[in-house]
Structure 1
Amino acid sequence: MVVDTEYYDLLGVEVTATDVEIKKAYRKKSILEHPDKNRDDPAATERFQSISEAYQVLSNKDLRANYDKSGKEKAIPKGGFEDAAEQFSVIFGGEAFAAYIGELTLLKNLQKQEELHAEEEAEKEKEKEKKEDEKKKQKEKEEEIKQKGDNIDQLNKDMSHLTVYDEQNQPKDTAKKSKLAEFEEELKAEKEKNNEKLVKILIDRLSILTESAYDNDCKRSFERKFEEEANLLKMESFGLDILHTIGSVYVERAKIYLASHKAFGLGGMFQSMKARGGVFMDTLRTVSAAIDAQSSMKELESMKEASESTTPQHDKQGNEISKPTPEEVAHQEEILMGKVLSAAWYGSKYEIMSTLRTVCDRVLEDESYDKLTRDRRAEALILLGKVFQRTYRTKVEQEEAQIFEQLVAEATKKKRHT
């Protein structure tokens, strides 16, 4: 007997739900209620945070027991609840891949940038209104002084408290940076800090082989070590996709380095052109997935409006059409969830590849190390990359794949056949 079912109700599960059922329910709900999907709903962020809090309690054995026995007040995590956006980030690997790709912040930062941009637009509108008011006051003061017959010195004195505008019609002494500009500078600094950390980790990881006897036995031992690690990572949410992505970048950057340091470097030029083509395609897929999700979102909104409308609906020929059923609306929501997640994955994949390209290039092009060391790093990077590329899930393991991966696969399949 539990004293409170609010958290269970938020996730849509029974009080007897297993850990796996709770995890699946949370991830499904978090996508459905994500603020990015509900931009016109001011309560979306609050619901998203509530769902995150429910999961943080019910996914923790001790907190769940306290909640069942004594309610919410006795089930607050030590240190407080984590931010909902941080919880949502575990969809793509979570902390398991942090030492390889760092923290994925693209989606979270885009949301913050949009908020700051909206704030700036509101401030600009206020400034515009203020400027118009100041102009009006200036004009009124000019007229008043002219009527009094005062001189220009008196005019300047009386108007000294008003805002003075320059040739571009902007207030003087406004060199202060905008919040958006400051935030972008912080992001740049944080990204650099993250890259430096990943460079050091990758060098240490490769040194297991590069600073060994560097014979076939050592290479095979190196591969076995990371095969074991890959077999653990592959079962994380989107773990197999992330491993394959890491592996492809490792192999790509190492091959470019080795080819560019051969005679004339023509091979490196070819590999670089091939890589740029890959970047273009990745960008295209990311944008395409976002547009596809947006289109499905609009379709769902139209279906909901039609299902709730009391006015008969007609097609282009004027024929009356039936309203969407609750089942059809629910099916469209499922499709939308998959496509939103697909767009999120492509965006995250783009961020992962961008980070890894920078990190690999710094590791390989660091001229503070001799050429032999750098060449060995490149060779070790190819070995490691190929280990990740050939990692796979068995049939049983694949059946245990996260619900999110299934949603993405379904969305991608539907997109190809429409």
Structure 2
Amino acid sequence: MVVDTEYYDLLGVDIDATDMEIKKAYRKKSILEHPDKNRNDPAATERFQAISEAYQVLSDKNLRANYDKSGKEKAIPKGGFEDAAEQFSVIFGGEAFAPYIGELTLLKNLQKQEELHAEEEAEKEKEQVKKDDEKKKQKENEETNKKKGNNINNLSKDVGHLKVYDEQDQPKDTSKKSKLEEFEEELKAQKEKNNEKLVKILIERLSILTESSYDMDCKRSFERKFEEEANLLKMESFGLDILHTIGSVYVERAKIYLASRRAFGLGGMFHSMKARGGVFMDTLRTVSAAIDAQSSMKELESMKEASESTTPQHDKEGNEISKPTPEELAQQEGILMGKILSAAWYGSKYEIMSTLRTVCDKVLEDKSSGKLTADRRAEALILLGKVFQRVYRTKAEQEEAQIFEQLVAEATKKKRHT
């Protein structure tokens, strides 16, 4: 028996809802009520924050127990709740995939790097203004000194043997790193630390098979174990795409390793060249998606300007163009959101594949365990990869797919037909 059902009602779930049901409900509700999708509704932000608060309580076992027993007053943490925007970061799999791919930080880091770059540029402009002011003052002083005549000339002779330094003339300490350089070094160190952690996890995961009797029964048991896990992961946001991505990298890296061990390594060279071609195409898709999103953003800005303008707009032939309707603006905003999400997915996928390639290669090139263990790891990696590659959603499950994925599919479909 619970004393308060407000949080359950906000998410539209029963009081005995499972963690998975709560998570699914939160994702759907948070997107439907997100302020970006309800810009003309002043109450949208408040509703979105309430949904976030409900999820943060019900997704935490201890907070949920306190809430069920004593209501909201006992459930709210002393330090307060996380920002709603942080909760919105569960788009690509959330924490469920962290043991496989780590934390996705590419987009967040790009934003931070852009901020630091902007700070540096602002600082440079400030320094330049200061230099310009000092030069101006120096020039004014020189003109004043000229008017004073011989007295200054005589003084100049007296102090001529001294070397005077202006603060701006002092040699700069080039060894000091900028904030951006320090941040990039931190990222590199953090990435290496994250990769080492993922290497250990993957070795432990594969050891379920590699350190067994390694017969057909063990292999089948290994596959069944991860089929069960994959069937849970596939219902995460973008879960199916992430699983297929992990699977393809696992198979790719393992095949490169095994092929390099045979036929003087020529097979490995072929698979490696094929993989590099895949990397190039992934990069191209990422850039293309970003450019497409930018183009849609400019189109939306033009439409908004046209809708707010009091001056009639004309096309190239001189015909008057009717102003975009609110419905057309809303439709374009939906398309833009989908394309931004699509670009974010391609960027995240690129990061996932980059991380996994590094992790897989470290696992397979680990010389501390011997060649037999390395070969078995490669074979186990192929088995695991193929398990993830063949995962699918049923029609009913697909209908429950997140609205994120629907937006991406819609944007991609409209792009093909434009």
The answer to whether TM tops 0.5 is yes
- Alpha-carbon offset, residue 129 of structure 1: 1.6
- Distance in 2, matches of 1:415 and 1:27, equals 22
Aligned mate of 2:53, from 40, 48, 57: 57
- Distance in 2, matches of 1:359 and 1:16, equals 38
- Distance in 2, matches of 1:153 and 1:334, equals 77
Q: 1:307 and 1:74, CA in 2 relative to 1: closer, same or farther beyond 3 A?
A: farther
Residue in 2 that maps onto 1:41: none
Q: 1:31 and 1:187, CA in 2 relative to 1: closer, same or farther beyond 3 A?
A: farther
Residue in 2 that maps onto 1:234: 234
- Distance in 1, matches of 2:400 and 2:352, equals 24
Q: 1:128 and 1:294, CA in 2 relative to 1: closer, same or farther beyond 3 A?
A: same
Work out whether 1:329 is the aligned partner of 2:329.
Answer: yes
- Distance in 2, matches of 1:48 and 1:283, equals 36
- Alpha-carbon offset, residue 136 of structure 1: 3.8
The runs of 5 or more residues in structure 2 that have no matched partner are 1-5, 14-21
- Alpha-carbon offset, residue 358 of structure 1: 0.2
Aligned mate of 1:163, from 156, 160, 168: 168
Q: 1:385 and 1:156, CA in 2 relative to 1: closer, same or farther beyond 3 A?
A: farther
Alignment of 1:16-415 (within 5 A): 23-28=27-32, 30=34, 32=36, 53-59=49-55, 60-61=57-58, 76-83=76-83, 86-139=86-139, 147=149, 148-149=152-153, 150-151=155-156, 154=159, 159-160=164-165, 162-164=167-169, 171-415=171-415
The one-character-per-residue Cα deviations of 1:314-362 (angstroms, maximum 9, x if unpaired) are 1111111211111111111111111110001000000000000000000
Q: Could you say what the CA RMSD is over the residues aligned between the two structures, in angstroms?
A: 3.1
- Alpha-carbon offset, residue 24 of structure 1: 2.1
- Distance in 2, matches of 1:51 and 1:112, equals 29
- Alpha-carbon offset, residue 367 of structure 1: 1.6
- Alpha-carbon offset, residue 79 of structure 1: 3.6
8 Å CA contact retained: 1:341, 1:404:
yes
Tell me whether 351-360 or 155-164 shows the greater mean CA deviation: 155-164
- Distance in 2, matches of 1:48 and 1:120, equals 36
Structure 1 length-normalised TM:
0.84
The one-character-per-residue Cα deviations of 1:92-123 (angstroms, maximum 9, x if unpaired) are 00000000000001111111111111101000
The runs of 5 or more residues in structure 1 that have no matched partner are 1-6, 9-13, 39-46, 166-170
Q: Is the partner of 1:96 in helix, strand or coil? A: coil
- Distance in 2, matches of 1:156 and 1:172, equals 25
8 Å CA contact retained: 2:10, 2:54:
no
Q: 1:210 and 1:286, CA in 2 relative to 1: closer, same or farther beyond 3 A?
A: same
Tell me whether 325-334 or 22-31 shows the greater mean CA deviation: 22-31
- Distance in 1, matches of 2:346 and 2:160, equals 62
- Distance in 1, matches of 2:157 and 2:83, equals 59
Give the greater-gyration-radius structure (CA).
2
- Distance in 2, matches of 1:156 and 1:387, equals 82
Q: Is the partner of 1:212 in helix, strand or coil? A: coil
Identity %: 77
Q: 1:151 and 1:413, CA in 2 relative to 1: closer, same or farther beyond 3 A?
A: same
The one-character-per-residue Cα deviations of 1:114-135 (angstroms, maximum 9, x if unpaired) are 1111101000111112222333
- Distance in 1, matches of 2:98 and 2:36, equals 26
